[in-house]
Amino acid sequence: MSINIHAIRAIYLFEMARTWRTLLQSIVAPVISTALYFVVFGSAIGSRMTDIDGVAYGAFIVPGLIMLSLLTQSISNASFGIYFPKFTGTIYELLSAPISAVEITLAYVGAAATKSILLGLIILATAALFVPLRVEHPGFMLLFLVLTSVTFSLFGFIIGIWAEGFEKLQIVPLLVVTPLTFLGGSFYSISMLPPFWQKVTLFNPVVYLVSGFRWSFFGQSDVGVAVSLAMTVAIMIACIAAIAWIFRTGWRIKN
């Protein structure tokens, strides 16, 4: 089966153009809000806290804050990207065009993931202005950055199809993903928790994402790096399977 590159490129460029038109909301606002975390937690609070496993607290929270932005922005970008055609009715033109479900998904998810990766790199550069930072495994850092962005852009794509109104686009990121990220070791090591809560926390999938990403910076992690990668890939495969089922059945798209 040949891939319709022109169709993918057209949707991808359209979605990226929307980012440049809303630059303040898409890039500037998340960077400023994350920078405030660095000021408050890294400088004001971090200076009064002891190091965690030899890493200054201000630097320790950087991977968690980047991951928080990646998850929320990936979901937000992808969900809005596919929901808006549903809202305006142009989704039917898209479905009747000579473009497959794979190509539609590649275009929308690719654009959302690109925005998130760009945002993550900008936040990383911003963090270096506030705290002393090192990246011991840059290759793995980029791998986790790309995998996480793609995985949660796929998840956001599903939410965009599921949502029946603009308010529902925010329910999962605000009430599920953000709390899981805060409870997933973004601001602390789960080894600091009592043994019982350490075991409970391992049921939070975000723990594996944050842990693997933090390992790429400092060589330290709460769970094994291989387990973190496996969990990320498993979530990605589950999202791909869900999207395949959606297009096969037409759930929330053709009705």
**Confidence (pLDDT) at 253:** 86
102 in Cβ contact with 192 (< 8 Å) = no
Cα–Cα distance measured from residue 64 to residue 41, given in angstroms and rounded to the nearest whole number: 12
Both tokens of residue 48?
Answer: 């009064």
pLDDT at 35: 83
SS3 content of the chain, % helix, strand, coil (to 5): 80, 0, 20
Give the whole-angstrom CA distance, residue 25 versus residue 85: 20
Q: Give the CA-trace dihedral at 199, 201, 203, 206, to 10 degrees.
A: -150
Q: What residues have CB less than 8 Å from 68, skipping those under 6 apart?
A: 34, 178, 181, 182, 186
pLDDT digits (tens, 9 = 90+) for 8-50: 999 999 999 988 888 878 888 888 888 888 777 766 676 677 7
pLDDT computed for residue 42 by the predictor: 67
- pLDDT of res. 1: 58
CA distance 93 to 110: 20
What pLDDT is attached to residue 49? 76
**Residue given tokens 């999962």 in the structure block:** 172
Tokens 């890294």 appear where? 42
Low-confidence ranges of the chain (pLDDT < 70): 1, 42-44, 46-47, 255
Q: What angle do CA 236, 238, 241 make, to 5 degrees?
A: 110
pLDDT of residue 34: 84
Domain chopping of the chain, boundaries: 5-249
